[in-house]
Each structure stands twice: as C-alpha cells, then as structure tokens.
Amino acid sequence: MGSMLSETVSPRDEPILYLKLAFTATFFAGLFQASLGLLRLGFVIDFLSKANLVGFMSGAAVIVSLQQLKGLLGISHFTSKMQFIPVMSSVFKHRDEWSWQTIVMGFSFLVFMLTTRHISMKRAKLFWLSAAAPLTSVILSTLLVFCLRSKTHEISFIGHLPKGLNPPSANMLYFSGPDLELAIKTGIVTGILSLTEGISVGRTFAALKNYQVDGNKEMMAIGLMNMAGSCSSCFVTTGSFSRSAVNYNAGAQTAVSNIVMATAVLVTLLFLMPLFYYTPNVILGAIIISAVIGLIDYQAAYRLWKVDKLDFLACMCSFFGVLFISVPLGLGIAVGVSVFKILLHVTRPNSLIMGNIKGTQIYHSLSRYKEASRVPSFLILAIESPIYFANSTYLQERILRWIREEDEWVKENDGSPLKCIILDMTAVTSIDTSGIDFLCGLRKMLEERSLQLVLANPVGSVMEKLHQSEMLDSFGLNGIYLAVGEAVADISALWKSKPDFPKDYNETRPCIETKR
C-alpha cells in the first residue's frame, strides 16, 4: 500500500491526503473482499498462484528492506520512490549523510534479531526468542540512547508520541477527487494480496489442526473487518502467519489470545507511549528488515525451477516487475504469465504414444516406461486433456504427424504396416462440438488411408455427447471399446480370422517385441 500511494502522494508533504487515501483504499479493499465472498467468487484468488506470491513477496521484501537503508545509514534526505534503481541511487547520492554510529547500532541489532530467528527456526521450543527479540532490541536501544544521549547526537530518535487512541476516521474517507482512482486501485491490489495471504495462513493451520476453512466466509469476514477498520484509523489487515505461528506454538486454542494481545496494545497506547521518546529510528528499520527478510524464499524459487519452468518464469516476472517497475504492474505481469500457462495447457494438451507391458493387459507411455513395447500394426495414443475448439486443430495435426513418423519407422525397421489407430480417451473429461467434428474428420481422413480409428474408454459425459451427436453410428461395432487391451485383442482376432492373414504372424511379429 505504501509503495503504491507514495508514487503519487508524499506522506511528508501531504500527510492528511495520504491518510485519507490509505483509509479509503482500506475501505475499497474490504468492499472488494466482502463482495467476492458474498458472490462466491473465491476462485478469482486462485489465479494468484504460489509462484506469483513467492516472486511478489520476495520483490516486496527487497524493496521494503532497501527503503529502510534511510534509517539504517542515518540519511536525512531520501527518495519516496520504491523502485530498485531510484532507491540505490539515493543511497549513494547522499553518502555524506551516513552516520557511523547509526550504522554500528543498526547492524548490531539486526544481526541480533536475525540470529534469534535462526535459533528459533532450528529449535521449535525456543520459538519465543524470535518473538521477544524486537521488543528486547527496542528496550536496549532506547536505554542506550537515553544514557548516552550527549554522545550519540547523530542518532535520530522518535521523539514525542501522543498517548491514547486515534479518533474515528470515517470522516476521512475519500470518495471524490482526482486521487480516487489511485485509492480504488490500491485497495483492490492490496485486498487481493491480503486475501491470498489470510486464506493461505488459515488453510495452513487448518491442515495442522485437521479442520476445514470456508474460503468464501473468510473473504466476507476479512472484508467486513477492513471496512470497519477503515472507519477506525486502520489500514488493510489480514491473517498474520508469524503471529499465528507464535500463538500456535504457545498453545493458543481460541480467539481469546487475540483479545489478550489487543489488551496489551491498548495498555501500551494509553499509558506507555512516553517511554518510546528516545527509541532510535534506526532500530525500527532494523526490525522491519528482520521481519520482511524472511519473505525472501529462495528455496521455493529453486524448487519451482526444478519442477516447472513456467512457474519459475511467473515467479521471476513478479519479482523483477515489483523490483524495477511497480507493485501492480509486476503482479499483473506475473498473473499474465500464469494465465498464459493455463492457455498453453489448454491449446497444447499433453498426448503420448502407449505400449504394452509384457505379460499383462496394461498399456503405458513408451517414453516413461522401459517395460512398455510397441504393438505391431497398432498406434495407441493417449490424450490427457479435454478436447475443445482451442486444441482440436492441434490434436489433429499432432496425430497425423505421429502417423507419418510411424510409417517412416515401419519402413526403416521392416515392421508390420500400420493398420489401426487407438485413441485412449480415459483422461478426456469433456468434449465440445469442435472436438466431435475433429473426431469425425480424423476418422474420414484415416479411412482414405485404409486406417481404422478406434476410441477406447470415453468417460460418461463424453460418451453422452458422442451419442447425442449421432457420431457413434459411423464408428460401427468395432469402433468403441471399454479398454485399450480389449480393443487390441478384439481387433487382432478379427484380423486373424481373415483368409489373407499370415499364419506365422504370432511367431514373426510378437506383440511385445520392438527395435524402437
């Protein structure tokens, strides 16, 4: 939210307008979230894949960390932009403002907090170390600056903080003006992100506790919470993974733990604010860096690279988009790559050549199973996708190319001539009219080449559409079978019953032998 709003409105120069836009963006985030839940449109969130989130969170963590270099180095003048190049340019442009005292204190406490985090991750029983480290750092740094305030004048500190609660902010909601579009855009983007994180956190701990999470109810709850929060001086809120983990490890069972935490915050706001007068700004930057650095999940990115290159590309697009362009554009590019991946799978479905495993009626991919062998005179193909208008042309071209390759292989290896093509439709979950036309056209093209087309195991919904289209009549009695093995056995028996069938076929062309 800060990165999107700061690109247009400066929180230093126009603090009131900045607050109005933040509260308004929170209101629209809540409205968007509650609407998704009310209309049961939770599937929209699924377009923001895990790969997108890994890249986005890592890019945002890097940007937020670089922004804290202002406090960590003691720089007074700093850019409000959030992109990598302007931030780094500002850091080195103001080298004369660097303070060695600030740098020593900041990096010392940063190392302390990162060390406690590492220990807590290695030993689950010491989870409280990483939770207590930020508060300990604040207390120690505040005491240090207070005791040495005459010698640490170069270290800036917070100063006066008013006690009490912020007034209601309902009157600050911004529903007209030139910046309304920015507030709505920021609200939708941050609302999607907070929903994704909140529901992901909920599902994670639901799996640990063996209960179910209703995504639509979660959306409505988070949305109404943000709408109410926008009227009480809150910005976009969601479920926190770190705080939920602390609660879980501490043994919390109900939402009463949140009441206890809220009470502690309330007591601090009402009575303890003057104690933070000498808290150095550098320690706040160190705390933020130590918090967000855990969002840089390089191990997840490496797993994406090993498993799915397109997911890795989406991750990198999101990461570099956020880092060098902007948050919404980076996220938009990543979502675009994910949608492209879906379209690619739809328009270029996976298909493979199958062979028989010796001594069984099992048929598997020739490329995946070494035990599988080609069946002479048969080309057995499996289609692992619904057949739609978007992929029917590709499938036809792919099948015809396989037939040409099979004919060439037969000529080179003196094999049995190709007579029958079997399409295993076990994984074809649906078919449309274009898919039906594709099967009809393919059957006619193969008949012209004296080749038989056979369908094996079409599922119920596909079989129903084929029957309604009256296409089954053209396939005849030997055109559709319940299994590939049944089709091979029955058609082979028909061939053997013909007078011109070679008597020594079984001896010279065994079903499972091949040089391929």
Residue 514 confidence (pLDDT) above 60 = no
Q: Are residues 368 and 250 in the same domain?
A: no
pLDDT band, residue 226 (cuts 50/70/90): very high
Q: What DSSP designation does 514 have?
A: -
Residues 94-106: tens digit of each pLDDT: 888 888 888 888 8
Per the model's pLDDT, the better-predicted residue between 222 and 199 turns out to be 222
What's the average model confidence in pLDDT over 276-294?
85
Are residues 356 and 338 part of one domain? no
Q: Which residues pair with 364 in a beta bridge?
A: 355
Q: Does residue 88 lie in a domain region?
A: yes
| pLDDT (0 to 100) of residue 35 | 93
Looking at the structure of the chain, the number of domains it has is 2
Together in a domain, 309 and 428: no
Q: Residue 242 has what pLDDT?
A: 59
Is residue 500 scored above 70 in pLDDT?
Answer: no
C-alpha distance from residue 63 to each of 91, 186, 291, 296, 365 (Å): 13, 17, 13, 11, 47
Which has more pLDDT, 211 or 267? 267
Alpha-carbon gap, residue 343 to 391, rounded angstroms = 10
Q: Are residues 20 and 36 in the same domain?
A: yes
Query: Alpha-carbon distance 473 to 111, whole Å?
Result: 76
| Claim to verify: residue 131 and residue 187 sit in the same structural domain | yes
Other CB atoms closer than 10 Å to residue 248's CB: what's the count? Answer: 16
Residue 155 lies in a domain: yes
Q: What is the pLDDT of residues 211-220, one digit of tens each?
A: 777 878 888 9
Strand partners for 157: 280
Q: How many CA atoms lie within 13 A of 471 on its CB side?
A: 25
State the pLDDT at residue 134: 87
Token pair listed for 476: 């005849």
Confidence (pLDDT) at 207: 65
For all residues of the chain together, what is the average pLDDT? 84
- 181 SS3 class: helix
Name the pLDDT band for 380 (thresholds 50, 70, 90). very high
Reported confidence tier of residue 305, pLDDT bands at 50, 70, 90: very high
Mean pLDDT of 399-406: 90
For residue 513, is it within any domain? no
Residues 152-177: what's their mean pLDDT?
84
**Predicted pLDDT of residue 291:** 79
Q: Residue 502: is its pLDDT beyond 60?
A: no
Number of residues written out for the chain: 516
Supply the CATH number for residue 465's domain: 3.30.750.24
pLDDT at position 222 is 93
Reply yes or no on whether the pLDDT at 413 is more than 90: no
Within a domain: 448: yes
**Are 383 and 498 within one domain?**
yes
> Last residue of some domain: 280, 311, 345?
345
Query: Quick check: 42 pLDDT over 80?
Result: no
Whether residues 341 and 433 share a domain: the answer is no
CB of 44 closer than 8 Å to CB of 36: yes
- Tell me the average pLDDT across 265-276: 89
What one-letter code names the amino acid at 108?
S
Q: Do both 331 and 402 map to the same domain?
A: no
Same domain membership, residue 422 and residue 317: no
Q: Residue 63: helix, strand or coil by DSSP?
A: helix
Give domain status of residue 245, yes or no. yes
pLDDT reported for residue 504:
44
Is the pTM higher than 0.85? no
End residue of a domain, out of 318, 345, 372 = 345
Q: What's the pLDDT score for residue 124?
A: 67
Percent of the chain with pLDDT over 70: 92
Residues 356, 496 share a domain: yes
Q: pLDDT at position 161, please?
A: 85
Same-domain status, 123 and 264? yes
Q: Are 354 and 375 a contacting pair, CB within 8 Å?
A: no
User: CB–CB of 382/458 below 8 Å?
Assistant: no
Say if 514 falls within a structural domain. Answer: no
- For 117, the domain range is 2-162+170-345
| Of 311, 345, 379, the domain-final residue | 345
Does residue 112 sit in helix, strand or coil?
A: helix
Is the same domain home to 338 and 429?
no
Mean pLDDT within 470-495:
86
* pLDDT surpassing 70 at residue 174: yes
Residue 323 lies in a domain: yes
404: in domain: yes
185: pLDDT strictly greater than 80: yes
At residue 499 the predicted structure's pLDDT band, cuts being 50, 70 and 90, is low
